[in-house]
Each structure stands twice: as structure tokens, then as C-alpha cells.
Amino acid sequence: MRRYFFCVNAILLLLVLTVSSCTYEDYEIKQGRGIVCSNGMVVSAHPEASGIGTGILIEGGNAFDAAAATAFALAVSYPTAGNIGGGGLMVIRDSDGRYATLDCREKAPDSAMNDMYLDEEDNIIKGMSTSTLAASGVPGSVAGILEMHSEYGSLPLKKIIQPSIDLAREGFPVTSRQAKSLNSVRKRFINRNDHPVPFVKDNLWAEGDTLIQADLARTLERIRDNGTEGFYSGSTADMIVKEMKKGNGLINHNDLENYSAVWREPVTGMYSGYKIISIPPPSSGGVAVMQLLGIMEDMLNEQPVFHSSEDVHLMIEAERRIYADRSFYLGDPDFVEIPVNELVNKDYLIDRMSDFDTLKTSSSANISHGLIVAPESEETTHFSVIDKDHNAIAFTTTLNSSYGNCIVVEGAGFLLNNEMDDFSSKPGYPNIYGLIGGEANSVQPGKRMLSSMTPAIVEKDNNLYMVLGSPGGSTIITSVFQTLLNVLEYQMNMQQAVDAPRFHHQWMPDLVYFEKLEADSVLIRKLENMGHNIQWRSSIGRVDAIRIIKGGKMEAGADSRGDDMACGY
Ligand code: DON
């Protein structure tokens, strides 16, 4: 085992390489935003994770080995969303052009009940679905990462996971953003845990302080040595169940033993000659982006102008209608019938926009879901990887809120998700993202909660063209949609497309969110004159993407809203 250090943007990056046929010195490793590489690239929310993933590529691993390594590295280096206690969704495209999606979304435990978050008067019990042990769904990430790796990976798991074990045990310097973020939830960690957790130290965190996670290192070792059993049974499972019993947690040994990731048929569609491949339910993301693009294909100006009031008004009105559909129709396809083909059908979409007024906003109160006759039977993280053969993977993974429910499994050192809040606790009542759900997304034992995660891959002329995705709760869909248009319509390069200002409408509440610093005031005035109700937000989404450019090279888009970083060679 040899170690190399290199420094970019004043961040010391630790890259652990087991040198076999090649050495680090053989390659020019690049790190930064907007970089261009020829042989492989990882773009993720943390420089440590992008570095570890790239190290695996250099060692001869393919994109899927690198993705598994990056996912484990994010669980260590980016505890706000990287995880082994949460779940995720992946879109995969191999170098032969075959694609697949893997669902490792959390599931409701078997003893979950429809009204579990309601009191005797049927009122929502505040915080129960977000801040308690009952907020956690059965984690899916470990099953998903290992399933993806066993199907598509080429290097042994041991090699893939070891850099993350070392990173957890030896620690890494937190970034300035991470220090602030950890300090902001210090009280939650103290109040919700009856044992010491690595995220709280005697003093407040400062940039450069070392975060060491010894218990997590041991959990990762059990996964290294025993595969999924190292997490879903044995001592890790015992620790999870013991943690649940400290409060109102529901996850038991059976829930853990019975969890499995599910391969699902991708949602695909064409937009102006590009093929979009994305995630099907239980995420709404793929369907919604396909609906939005379907509307744009028919209705966007022949010569679109980025953030012109005409284009933005059209996009807002499309988002309003598509989020209304999301709220009514979408849920776990293993439990409810979802008319996916009808929802993305062009005639349906044209009909959906039939009351669109180019000069005036419509009111969400008057917009409901579309009518389909006889239906056929805000913290997450996304990363994108492409290798030298153009194998590609888009992987979005989440604990739901920042640090999930802020409860660390004692002895196992990882955070639990609060994904149960993505269910509709009570029809018509909003979740933490203001999303209103219906019966299709009610809590049921063993059901997967509806997601907005939208990992996506784009093909041009049957070749790989783009890999992208974003965190951001309900804003994920609009972030991916607008990044796609930025490249496909507004001629931006990948970094520009990712950094460009964004806006968001989700039907209810009837507001258009704009990023505070970036909104153009002429545009805002015009939109307000049309009747749009504008609200400011510090940021929307955090897209990490890669695009293939001339000569098959890879161009990075690492979102400058965060510490996101591309690494490649
Ligand atoms: O699956 C979902 O849609 C949400 N749990 C995602 C949460 C999220 O993106 C939070 N990030 N900022």
C-alpha cells in the first residue's frame, strides 16, 4: 500500500493506491471544477470521495468499481448525506450501450402503519417522521452498492472498500462548509444520542479539524469481510435493532434480513434527438423529467434564450402541472399501479398545457392532476462516474434530511435515515419539502416511499453523452431538468450548465423559488407582472455531472454551490 498526496484548492487530498500494473506517476491526475480528462472521471460532493473513486479507476477498476468505492467514501467523508444507513437510486450504462436501473431505496418496516405519524385526533405528530427512530426506513444502500458491484464490478470488494475503512479510522480534515454544518446540528446530535458520537467534540468544529469514525471503520470491515451479511445480519444488525429499542424505532431483524435491492426497467424518452435514460418509480424523478422535456419539445421557442421571461414562464407552468401529477399518481410500483406510459404520452402532455397562457400565471388552486382514463394495469448527494471504456453510472443516495434523523447507531458509527417522511403521513398534508402526497404514497408495511431523486444518463447517436443528478428534495427534478436544457438548448458547457442559476415551482405551495443572489431583476419584474409569486432561496440543487465532448474526452460539471469536486486522469 502506498500513499500519495496532492493538493488542489488548498485541500489536501489523500489518495490511497495499491499499485500493481501502474503507478500514480504514470498519469496526470486532475482535480477541480470544469476539468477535462481522457481516461476516467468521478464528480462527487466531496474531494476525498472523488479522489478515492479516481484512485480505483487508476488501479484498473471500471466505473462500477469506482462508484462503489465513491459511495463508501461519501459515507465516511460526507456524513450529511453519504451513507450506509440510507438508500439510493442508480442508473447504469455499460460500454456496450446496455442500461439498467437499481433501486436501493429504503422500505417501511413490516410493522409500519398507515396512521403511524398521527395522534388520536388524526393530527400529525410533529417531528415523529423526521427526528425520531420511527423516522427510519430499512436502509438499502449497502445492499444496492454490493448488488451493483457484484453485477458490474471487476475488482474485489476488499480493494474497493479498504480506502474508506482507512479514511474512517485515520480521519480526514473537514472543510469549512462541513465545520459550519456540523456545528449547526451539534445540539441535535447531543439531544438525540445517549452515547458519544464522532460528530460532536468538546469544542466547535473548525476547518481542518480531523473527523475520525472508528466504529464506522469497524462496520465497513464487517461489510468487507462478510458482504451484505456484514450489515443486514450479525453484530451490525444487532446494533441497529438495539438502537431501535431505545425509542420508537420499528426496524427488526426480519426487516433487515429481508431487504433487497431491486433492478427496475428504466424510464426512457427522446428529446430533440437525445435519448434520456432515468429512474422509474418509486422515484418520481424520471417520469417528471420526461414529462417536462416532452412539454418543452413542443412548446419551447425555436430559438430559446436562457432565463428569458418567456422560457422561464413556460417552464414554471410546466413544473406546476407536472408536480400536481406527481402528488396524485406516483408511489411504490410494487404497491400501486402507476400509469407511466400515459403520463409521458405527448397527447396527454399537450392536453395538460391546454390552459397555458403565455402572458399570465395560472393558479395552483385551479390546477389538479391530469386525468388519465383507465390507467394501465433537501440532504442527498449525487455522483457521476465514467471510465475509459465509457461505462457510466449516475448514483443518487440519501439519508433524507441533513444527517438523516441525526441518530448514530451505537457501536456501528453510522447515521440513520429519516426517509419515512417521504411518505405522505396524511393525505393532503405537506412533508418537509412541502410536497403533498396522496393515497399512492401512503405508509404501508414493506413499501418504498416516493422519491424525487433523478439520476440520469443521456445518449447522443447511441453513444454516451452525459451523466448527471442532484440532491435537493423536491427541487431535484427541476435541477436535473434545467441542467439538461442548459446543455441541450442553451449551449452551455457542463460546468456552466451546473453553475447557472435555477428556479423551482412544485405546484403547491404556489410559489416560484429563485436563487437569491443570482436572480436577474428584469426577469423577476416581468414574472411578477405575469402574476408569479416569487420567493428567494439560498440555493437550489447541487448537480454533479460529466459530459462527453470531442474526441471522447470527459468534461466535468462539479456544482460550485458546495464542496463538490471532479477528479480524473
Ligand atoms: O428521495 C427524496 O426525494 C428525498 N429524500 C431527497 C432528499 C434530498 O434531496 C435532500 N437534499 N437536499
Determine whether 380 is an active site residue.
Answer: yes
Backbone angles phi, psi at 197, to 5 degrees: -120, 150
Residues 223 and 230 sit within 8 Å (Cβ to Cβ): yes
Residues with CB under 6 A from ligand 1: 378-380, 398, 400, 419, 422, 451-453, 471-473, 476
- d(CA 55, ligand 1 centre) in Å: 28
Q: Whose CA is nearest to atom 6 of ligand 1?
A: 473
Ligand 1: which of 130, 380, 422 to mutate, most ligand atoms within 8 Å of CB?
380
Enumerate residue ranges in the chain where pLDDT < 70: 1-24, 373-378, 517-519
pTM of the model: 0.94
Residues 482 and 409 sit within 8 Å (Cβ to Cβ): no
Cell digits for 268? 426512457
Residues 13 and 549 sit within 8 Å (Cβ to Cβ): no
pLDDT at 379: 77
Give the angle subtended at the CA of 263 by the CAs of 258 and 268, to the nearest 5°.
150
The C-alpha torsion from 194 through 196 and 201 to 205, rounded to 10°, is -80
pLDDT at 371: 75
Residue of 54, 219, 380, 483 marked catalytic: 380
Distance CA 65, CA 77 (A): 18
Ligand 1: which of 431, 453, 538 to mutate, most ligand atoms within 8 Å of CB?
453
pLDDT at 437: 83
Ligand 1: which of 421, 476, 544 to mutate, most ligand atoms within 8 Å of CB?
476
The third-level CATH classification (topology) of the domain covering 268-375+452-543 is: Serum Albumin; Chain A, Domain 1 (1.10.246)
Q: Whose CA is nearest to atom 4 of ligand 1?
A: 473
**Which residues lie below 8 Å from residue 403, measured CB to CB, with a gap of 6+?**
79, 80, 185, 188, 189, 199, 379, 415
**Which residues lie below 8 Å from residue 25, measured CB to CB, with a gap of 6+?**
none
Distance CA 75, CA 55 (A): 17
In a 13 Å sphere around the CA of 74, the CA atoms on its Cβ side amount to: 40
Distance CA 281, CA 106 (A): 13
Query: Ligand 1, closest atom to CA 419?
Result: 5
Q: Whose CA is nearest to atom 2 of ligand 1?
A: 451
User: H or E element: which one contains 106?
Assistant: none
pLDDT digit string, tens, across residues 414-437: 999 999 999 999 988 889 998 988
pLDDT at 368: 82
Cis upstream peptide for 139 (omega within 30°): no
Distance CA 203, CA 349 (A): 55
* H helix and E strand count, the chain: 18, 22
Residues 406 and 185 sit within 8 Å (Cβ to Cβ): yes
- d(CA 453, ligand 1 centre) in Å: 7
Cell digits for 492? 452551455
pLDDT at 169: 98
Cβ neighbours, 10 Å, residue 171: 18
DSSP code for 541 = -
Residues 247 and 253 sit within 8 Å (Cβ to Cβ): no
Cis upstream peptide for 266 (omega within 30°): no
DSSP code for 448 = B
- d(CA 379, ligand 1 centre) in Å: 5
Residues 469 and 543 sit within 8 Å (Cβ to Cβ): yes
Distance CA 236, CA 219 (A): 7
Distance CA 41, CA 548 (A): 11
Does residue 550 sit in helix, strand or coil? helix
First to last CA, the chain: 20
Domain residue spans of the chain: 7-263+379-421, 268-375+452-543
